[in-house]
């Protein structure tokens, strides 16, 4: 298939595909799906080998948010029956983080609900980082605290944070449809602040919110322009009690196409399968590992993932290996640029194009049968997917509870 040969060649050269090529990936048929995965897999192995980076979420403050992000179970007015608690103490957070590290995670993601941190909140997170790094100085710490004010990124960097996550989530043109209490520009500004302070920028998206293919391509190209080191790809978990509870419109095949498109646009960037992995990829999760080089271990912010041991078994069974603390995640050319505090831009991507790339859930998250051998349209999105509400489990263990974390 010419398209896939072209995209593979470009990915191996770290060259930006065209928008049309990115859109064409999303439009491939189910008959072509394994070829798409294989092509994206070649690019993934070129830059990341068979390594899988494990990240571990610690929700420092859950629920009670004044913002109205419609995809989020912690939003203003959410009726989702999630855990609600205010700031964990540093030793509590460090204990949860240690469980993830013991399970194989090399990065801990410290997340707090809210519009953005106060200076007092930065102090709390600094104490938490000190507690985590005091136990194991090799652990990477990423903070995800919302919109940053001036100098807060610098303070986090000084406290030992390695990275900052703030997702763009969706395209600029549809951002106002999912959130009214802050803007797309606010989010771009925070990613720039993180970059400017020398933090490794992590910024991603949420698929499945009713967006078009064009929106998905827009946000992924926008992310690449922000030049993050990691891009989490969330698949919407339509929580009961949130405005998007009925948005069950992803299939495992659609998720794989989206991951492949992100990989082709961001060939040498850490692509992470984030929230919604178990709910939407389901038994196709191992194929996702051929495209993405990073996942979250265990549970998410407000929902439960599969058992941590099941994550580890899946990685091993699929022929991949957990990335060790002594291994560098990014390819040498990007790792060097990050270590040097390069603000990014096209200089590190080697592309002749000007654009260069970029929850979890502060960030966050149909099958149809093929029509047969005709090669014509087969399974396409938009067809009815079963609402797999049975797979959505509100988190009841780990941080903020008396029960052991899942790691």
Residues labelled catalytic:
65, 69, 72, 109, 142, 202, 272
CB of 122 to ligand SF4, least distance (A): 17
Near ligand SF4 in 348-387, by CB under 6 A: 362
Exposed, middle or buried, 144 (CB in 10 Å: 0-12/13-18/19+)?
Answer: buried
Near ligand SF4 in 237-276, by CB under 6 A: none
Q: Which of 21, 67, 95, 357 binds ligand SF4 (CB under 6 A)?
A: 67
Nearest CB to ligand SF4, comparing residues 52 and 301: 301
Specify the long-range contacts of residues 241-244, CB closer than 8 Å, at least 24 apart: 241/73, 241/78, 241/79, 241/80, 241/81, 242/70, 242/71, 242/72, 242/73, 242/75, 242/78, 242/79, 242/80, 243/70, 244/70, 244/71, 244/209, 244/210
Near ligand SF4 in 89-118, by CB under 6 A: 113, 115
CA distance 312 to 310: 5
- HSE at residue 209, side-chain half, CA atoms within 13 A, is 25
Nearest Cα residue to 58 out of 105, 99, 96: 96
Does 75 participate in binding ligand SF4 (rule CB under 6 A)? yes
Nearest CB to ligand SF4, comparing residues 247 and 311: 247
Which of these segments, 67-75, 154-162, 266-274, 319-327, binds ligand SF4 (CB under 6 A)? 67-75
Nearest CB to ligand SF4, comparing residues 107 and 166: 166
Near ligand SF4 in 136-165, by CB under 6 A: 146
Q: Which of 69, 99, 199, 202 binds ligand SF4 (CB under 6 A)?
A: 69
Does 59 participate in binding ligand SF4 (rule CB under 6 A)? no
Name 223's Cβ contacts closer than 8 Å, sequence gap at least 6.
168, 203, 204, 205, 231, 266, 357, 358
Does 60 participate in binding ligand SF4 (rule CB under 6 A)? no
What residue ranges bind ligand SF4 (CB under 6 A)? Answer: 65, 67, 69, 72, 74-75, 113, 115, 146, 362
């Amino acid at each position: 298939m010419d398209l896939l040969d072209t995209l593979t060649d470009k990915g191996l050269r770290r060259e930006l595909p065209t928008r049309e090529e990115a859109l064409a990936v999303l439009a491939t048929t189910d008959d072509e799906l394994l070829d798409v995965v294989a092509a994206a897999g070649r690019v993934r192995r070129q830059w990341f080998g068979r390594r899988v980076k494990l990240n571990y979420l610690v929700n420092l403050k859950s629920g009670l948010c004044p913002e109205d992000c419609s995809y989020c179970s912690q939003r203003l007015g959410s009726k989702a029956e999630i855990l609600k608690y205010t700031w964990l103490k540093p030793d509590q957070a460090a204990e949860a983080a240690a469980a993830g590290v013991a399970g194989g995670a090399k990065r801990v993601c410290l997340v707090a609900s809210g519009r953005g941190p106060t200076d007092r909140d930065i102090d709390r997170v600094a104490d938490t980082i000190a507690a985590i790094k005091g136990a194991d100085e090799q652990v990477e710490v990423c903070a995800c605290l919302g919109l940053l004010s001036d100098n807060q990124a610098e303070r986090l960097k000084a406290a030992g944070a390695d990275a900052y996550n703030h997702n763009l989530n969706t395209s600029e043109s549809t951002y106002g449809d999912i959130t009214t209490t802050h803007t797309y520009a606010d989010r771009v500004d925070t990613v720039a602040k993180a970059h400017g302070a020398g933090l490794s920028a992590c910024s991603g998206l949420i698929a499945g919110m009713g967006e078009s293919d064009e929106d998905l391509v827009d946000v992924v190209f926008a992310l690449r322009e922000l030049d993050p080191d990691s891009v989490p790809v969330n698949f919407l978990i339509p929580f009961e009690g949130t405005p998007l509870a009925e948005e069950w419109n992803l299939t495992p095949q659609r998720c794989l196409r989206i991951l492949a498109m992100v990989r082709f646009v961001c060939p040498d960037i850490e692509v992470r399968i984030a929230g919604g992995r178990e709910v939407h990829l389901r038994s196709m999760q191992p194929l996702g590992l051929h495209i993405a080089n990073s996942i979250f271990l265990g549970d998410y912010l407000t929902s439960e993932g599969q058992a941590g041991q099941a994550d580890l078994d899946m990685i091993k069974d699929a022929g991949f290996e957990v990335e060790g603390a002594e291994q560098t995640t990014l390819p040498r050319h990007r790792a060097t640029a990050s270590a040097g505090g390069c603000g990014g831009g096209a200089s590190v991507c080697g592309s002749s194009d000007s654009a260069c790339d970029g929850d979890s859930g502060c960030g966050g998250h149909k099958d149809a049968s093929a029509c047969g051998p005709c090669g014509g349209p087969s399974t396409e999105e938009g067809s009815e997917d079963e609402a797999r509400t049975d797979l959505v489990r509100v988190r009841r263990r780990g941080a903020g509870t008396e029960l052991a974390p899942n790691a």
